[in-house]
Amino acid sequence: MPQTLRLKKNADRRLKAGHLWLYSNEIDIQATPLKELEPGAQAVIEAANGKPLGVAYVNPHSLICARVVSRDADVRLDRSLLVHRFNQALGLRERLFAKPFYRLVHGEGDLLPGLIVDRFDDVLVVQLNTLGMERVRDEVIAALDKVLSPRAIVFKNDSSGRRLEQLESEVAVVHGELPEQVLLEENGVRFVAPVLDGQKTGWFYDHRANRAWLNGLVAGKRVLDLFSYVGGWGVQAAAHGASEVLCIDASEAALERVAENAALNGLHEQVAVGHGDVFEALTALRAEGERFDVVVLDPPAFIKKRKDITNGERAYARLNREAMRLLGRDGLLLSASCSMHLAEERLVECVRGAVRHQDRHGQILYRGGQAGDHPIHPAIPETAYLKALGVRVFRN
């Protein structure tokens, strides 16, 4: 008999509305003691009246104590379900993109909580962010092999989510053989993806559409790319006609990749790099009298938890203010945030405050979010995390 988790009365409302998470305070622990369930095990979720609502995997030690993997109580998270969901996810991406470079699986957005898979043609980079997914790691490998027969599968299991689930870090090639260089193409520009030693899976596909928008406005312009990582924004800007690009990042390894990616596209003369803390670099550039036509702000998440919101908003406000000082009289700011806890209207407020602080005018020309390979689950606001604003900043 499968294990069960029974909900308190009326605690099934979010689940019936489509959500996939259950919190420990929603469980009827008298009827089904949560602590007695094995961490990572699968259980049938029941309403207070005993009616089955679906199947979830469980972690009694996590605030989100269960994550639903199917509304069918007879289904289990196994190789068969994974193959089915991977095929569903693949069908969507093949409708959206002509080439095999995209996020193949986006966790809850693809009804596979805790699982991320990024595709670099025949190389797949996987993140198992929860104990429940960790328990089916072999099934994940087997299902990916059946659906795509990849040359290599890399597990990039070093996320903060794993630490919250008390899982160890692991970065390893778990299937096949990794080529010397893992290449990708985005918006017609080629890049090397550092899948083993880079951030997250090595690349951020989520900004694809936002970069495409900016690429249409950079011809002949001088561009500053802050928090550049491996040059996703800056190298694409150069490829689309920017006269000069300066990429600044705190990671020397990332900047080496910027230079490599610029050279890969024959753009080494247009793209320069600067190493250091971005806030310090902004101060130094201003002191040197530098001015740019376009400034890109794509920082890491300043707000990782709700308690960080106040300090995080201050950081976004300061960053936008200081970056704006480097724009010429009629410049363009691309201001982004990947902080799920920063609402878009708060980012707009940061931009508005920065514009007024310098007695300039601002016009929001573009509002963007994550690309379609990062689908948003309509019942889970947390799956909509990315914001990007294109802002014209000008003087009277």
Whether residue 108 contacts residue 129, with contact meaning beta carbons closer than 8 Å, is answered with no
Query: Which segments within the chain are labelled E, that is strand?
Result: 3-6, 21-23, 42-46, 52-58, 64-70, 101-106, 115-120, 123-128, 152-157, 170-176, 183-186, 189-192, 222-226, 244-249, 271-275, 292-297, 327-337, 361-368, 387-394
> CB neighbours (10 Å) of residue 321?
18
Count other Cβ atoms within 10 Å, centred on residue 159: 18
**Max Cα distance, the chain (Å):** 73
Q: Tell me the two tokens of residue 99.
A: 């080439």
Rounded Cα gap, residues 333 and 390, in angstroms: 6
Residue 6 identity: R
Q: Identify the residue whose tokens are 């989520």.
A: 206
CA angle 142, 56, 370 (to 5 degrees): 75
* Cross-strand partners of 178: none
Whose tokens are 């622990």? That residue is: 29
The 3-class secondary structure across 170-231, one letter per residue, is EEEEEEECCCCCCEEEECCEEEECCCCCCCCCCCCHHHHHHHHHHHCCCCCCEEEEECCCCC
Would you call 338 a catalytic residue per the annotation?
yes
**Of 65, 247, 338, 350, catalytic:** 338
**Catalytic machinery residues:** 338
